[in-house]
């Protein structure tokens, strides 16, 4: 048990004893969590390819009369991603310092993201049919992942979720700074819930910026689900999840309008969206309670690892390919072919960029963090930098020759 056990953390018992590794020690990979990632990624891809009209040059409902009715709810995959993110970030941050947490997030997010920005930009420069890249400077700013904060357009519209994730990381870093314990996580859930409820009613830009009222319920519920898994379910954690579920339901209509447009939202029943959210919470509850621990298919971790690069590259590049070849290939084979192409490219990004570059970035950042901790960075090799003269020696050098 972690050192926080004597500080008011509920004592784990039964199944939870085996689910709570020592602080800083990663537990066994949850294949069921990878399955949820895969379902979420494919649902978002399905939504973009079968529910959006722009790529096909005609209403997607006419192109896919059967699939369209289901595809219009695929945007909910983003909400499920946020649920998973709350669970995973709380799990991975346990026992880590702020520096370790920052290193893990940067080395995890940026390698695949840089590859995706480069790939999508090249596609849009070559075939500016769906969108034109404003300028090379826009692409450069996108590499920072901070473009939404300074008003620069996304190279790919799917990147909006990354800025939301960054806000969550910044907020959770406060918990990491104070120590990731049961008590601090529950306090964080309560404070962020209060901020999300208050933000729409007050005129405070900073509060609204970090409250992220439409997304925070999913992150918070994910944290509560991980606490259930690491320790045990209790009334407080179930109350946290229940409140987040109710808040999430409240934002469904606004999310439908932002995803489908107001006119399409009026013609689309909302109840399936509410049911899908319920199913997402139920899946995460099953993972938290260990119900799905027997799901250990060997291919799931590999599929789960590909979901992040797949999400990053599939939208604008995929829609451009669909638009370019829509007159030459029938809709169903074209959609399936583009999906297969994106999966293969995502796997290549994962194997050739994300894994090797992630290791290099992680090692370099760790050395930098160690220098910060020590307060005395290692000196540069001799000959690399000019040696500054000592004070008495500097005084003997004529001013004109300094």
Q: How many domains does the chain have?
A: 1
Biggest alpha carbon–alpha carbon distance for the chain: 86
- Give the tokens for residue 229: 């898994």
Average pLDDT over residues 35-61: 94
Instruction: Please state, in angstroms and rounded to a whole number, the distance separating the CA atoms of residues 363 and 149.
Output: 28
Domain, as residue range, for 336 = 31-371
Contact 322, 56 (CB under 8 A): yes
14 belongs to a structural domain: no
Instruction: Please state, in angstroms and rounded to a whole number, the distance separating the CA atoms of residues 227 and 184.
Output: 11
Banded pLDDT at 21 (limits 50, 70, 90): very low
395 belongs to a structural domain: no
327 belongs to a structural domain: yes
* Residue pLDDT, tens place only, 159-196: 999 999 999 999 999 999 999 999 999 999 999 999 99
389 belongs to a structural domain: no
385 belongs to a structural domain: no
Contact 110, 116 (CB under 8 A): no
pLDDT at residue 393 tops 50: no
Instruction: Please state, in angstroms and rounded to a whole number, the distance separating the CA atoms of residues 329 and 346.
Output: 23
pLDDT at residue 64 tops 50: yes
26 belongs to a structural domain: no
Contact 295, 24 (CB under 8 A): no
Q: Is 228 exposed, middle or buried (0-12, 13-18, 19+ CB in 10 A)?
A: buried
* Residue pLDDT, tens place only, 337-361: 999 999 999 999 999 999 999 999 9
pLDDT at residue 18 tops 50: no
Average pLDDT over residues 325-334: 96
278 belongs to a structural domain: yes
Instruction: Please state, in angstroms and rounded to a whole number, the distance separating the CA atoms of residues 345 and 116.
Output: 10
381 belongs to a structural domain: no
């Amino acid at each position: 048990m972690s050192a926080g056990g004597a500080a008011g953390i509920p004592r784990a018992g039964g199944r939870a004893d085996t689910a709570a590794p020592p602080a800083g020690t990663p537990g066994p990979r949850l294949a069921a969590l990878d399955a949820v990632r895969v379902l979420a990624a494919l649902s978002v891809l399905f939504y973009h390819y079968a529910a959006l009209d722009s790529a096909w040059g005609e209403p997607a409902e006419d192109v896919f009369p059967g699939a369209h009715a289901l595809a219009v709810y695929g945007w909910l995959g983003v909400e499920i991603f946020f649920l998973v993110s709350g669970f995973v970030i709380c799990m991975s941050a346990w026992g880590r310092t702020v520096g370790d947490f920052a290193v893990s997030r940067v080395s995890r997010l940026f390698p695949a993201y840089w590859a995706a920005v480069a790939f999508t930009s090249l596609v849009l420069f070559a075939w500016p049919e769906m969108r034109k890249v404003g300028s090379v400077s826009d692409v450069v700013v996108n590499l920072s992942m901070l473009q939404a904060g300074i008003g620069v357009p996304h190279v790919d519209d799917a990147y909006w979720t990354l800025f939301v994730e960054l806000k969550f990381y910044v907020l959770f870093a406060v918990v990491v700074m104070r120590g990731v314990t049961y008590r601090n996580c529950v306090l964080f859930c309560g404070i962020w819930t209060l901020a999300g409820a208050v933000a729409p009613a007050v005129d405070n830009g900073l509060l609204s910026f970090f409250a992220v009222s439409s997304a925070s319920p999913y992150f918070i519920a994910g944290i509560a689900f991980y606490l259930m898994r690491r320790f045990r379910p209790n009334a407080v954690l179930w109350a946290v999840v229940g409140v987040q579920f109710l808040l999430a339901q409240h934002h469904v209509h606004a999310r439908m309008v932002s995803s489908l447009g107001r006119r399409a939202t009026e013609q689309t029943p909302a109840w399936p969206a509410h049911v899908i959210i319920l199913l997402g919470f139920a899946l995460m509850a099953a993972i938290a309670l260990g119900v799905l621990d027997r799901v250990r298919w060997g291919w799931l971790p590999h599929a789960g690892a590909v979901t992040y690069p797949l999400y990053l590259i599939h939208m604008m590049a995929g829609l451009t390919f669909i638009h370019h070849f829509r007159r030459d290939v029938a809709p169903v084979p074209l959609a399936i072919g583009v999906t297969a192409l994106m999966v293969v490219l995502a796997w290549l990004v994962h194997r050739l960029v994300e894994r090797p570059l992630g290791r290099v970035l992680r090692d370099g950042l760790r050395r930098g963090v160690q220098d910060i901790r020590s307060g005395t960075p290692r000196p540069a090799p001799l000959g690399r930098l000019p040696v500054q003269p000592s004070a008495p020696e500097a005084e003997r050098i004529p001013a004109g020759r300094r």
